[in-house]
Chains A and B, each alone.
Chain A
């Protein structure tokens, strides 16, 4: 009888042995090595073993009896250390075995990030029973904490299992959303929400710096300085095919062991199967293709013909209650078309990608009942032309209703606040409508909802529509852009009311019609999110217009302008010298004094930006934000310092205001001025906020304009001290930040909400004024930073070309 030796008792080799023995039990005399001290088991079920839903005994696929009955010699717990292909022997830790045919089924090992502390006791992977046992033991201590590095399939199954065992679990994921290779951002968002609902903390864009501990793991530190105490750290960042043995034996190995479609390696007597193989450039990490390989290998071993072909794969997550599915290819394409369906109320998201008349990809979350049907259509390349319009509703439903754009409002709970000014909840409004208030005017009169600032008007109308159904005729409102039917005001309200804290959260919960928005809605959403959730939301540079992404004004020829701050219009000879030097050094074609009391360097090349900023930073200057929807300038006059008419220190107050406000993001740009007397040399009466100094104190005016419209400021208040000017100004700007529509200057916004309401919020209600100032300062704790210095330190590569082929060709 021919001698067959198999290295590795894994899922692939186990399946191959079954096929072989079923077809011909007498073909080979078989020896099976396994480094793990046990035989074949269903590795993928380690997840339910970890969560306690299954025992290890339940997942064993081949027990001692099975090996005995089929005459297989087992050498479990023994690693194969080398192979002598000349003598045709396999050398194990306990001795040699000769072979006629040899199978590699060595699988993969977990990839461990080589960060400091990765070898501390308490750092485990999730690959075998030992890892699983280490994790369940760690969870036995009450209050124990786990950090899971990696938010892919394995990491999330580990996290869910540990959480079910009562641990405090944090998942760290490097990408912007979970399972980014299988899911798009919308599905990733829903998954994250589901996991958070189970009490798992998820940190995305979290980069591990080190694991620390004295003799054993005590915690993980991230690159951004976050410190996470931990009793166990699970690394689930990926797998590496185990190919060292094959390499040492001289077999052809690339990313894994090269095989042909019959699973034969570069040596005709040696085969490989499972995760350790590379076939036509593909490596494998899911069992479906491994089972196909196993079938082919068994045939090859019996001298029969069969061919392995790579098929489409689908992914599901084995976490009870998280229904997700992804299959095929869902990248964008010119010839591709997306069909998106969202049901925010049920947390359902489905996306189909169609090319020609075929379905090529599908992602679904929350409702995966039809996933097999869709997967079948993808695999078979079925013609879907006939059902295109109704395809997304699945096999049972061919002619369904559209997603209801009002569903987001319908889903709000009764105690959700609709009118923030008057504290009116949805339940109050619904009650009023049922009691006979069937139009906006009546609701306003009976509940006071939308009777103050009016920005919730759209929302009140939607509550009317949801409650009254067809009896209510919605006034036509201007939607934000083609991606949604909601207005800016609706979106702002809903972001607050439903606590939407990320871009995918908004797209999903508010039923965006596109996958990731457009150039109109993305900058607006980015502002709304950072204004409402300064601590939770991370500013998204890619959703900003180029000027704000690169902190400079783009010119018509693609160059940029650079404008440092000159606080209150004051400069020094040293600053002027540094500006002059920079202009020389970077060949700046135009140096101009602006209308905002500072100096503009125009025509700087994009790639020179970080360098010129660095020079200006070194001379003590920071960005003038001449490009931002944020604080621009505070113009001043010379005031009491020099002027014979000056009544107060207008220059000093201007500088204080600029130092308090710089860096803040606002719906549109904000400009201030402080004049030392009513002669008004700083033109304060046409600014967004303008202060006129008088003998008795300060006159604070707001809502002026001098651009496309010209309008005089309106008096907000007369105050006595500089501190009051600072407080009133910050409160006014925060109110503007929290309520205005993106790209409305303050004068347009005040015209909508009325100066009386603004006064009530900022002047009359003292506690509210303080609360506004506090919220402004909270936001400034994040944003009052020089973006130039930050970009010089962190974002520099963005400014340089990724490659230079001009040089390459010359070489």
Chain B
């Protein structure tokens, strides 16, 4: 039963993230490429707290690859994966630390996403001067991360799944195996 519920949650989280990513792609093009809300990150932050680090990485990778194919931008998938990996790595390090709320996790994640993408662009295009672009992207990433983190915080308060679903699902189900 628990395994089934976990699987259902993984599927729902992935689906919600893909829908949010798709909806954002419909917004008017920003004059500054690279700046976006990244609302799907709210769901990923929740997934960190509820489903743990390894599952969150799986969700992030599946979401980015599928959405890249879905939106017809397969050339850009490596960029979203670079941003997503750096972002989720940093968020995984921070999310259980004392004195850090989902808001701080969101800010760090948003900024790390920008850094990951720009770093890959610097390598692929061999254009080191792109680093200065981060001077503009990082404050934007912090604002967007503040919003996504706050959304994650509000969601976790209104859907206190932790009660039904104590944090480490993987270890729990393993203990209950006959």
- Report whether chain A binds chain B: no
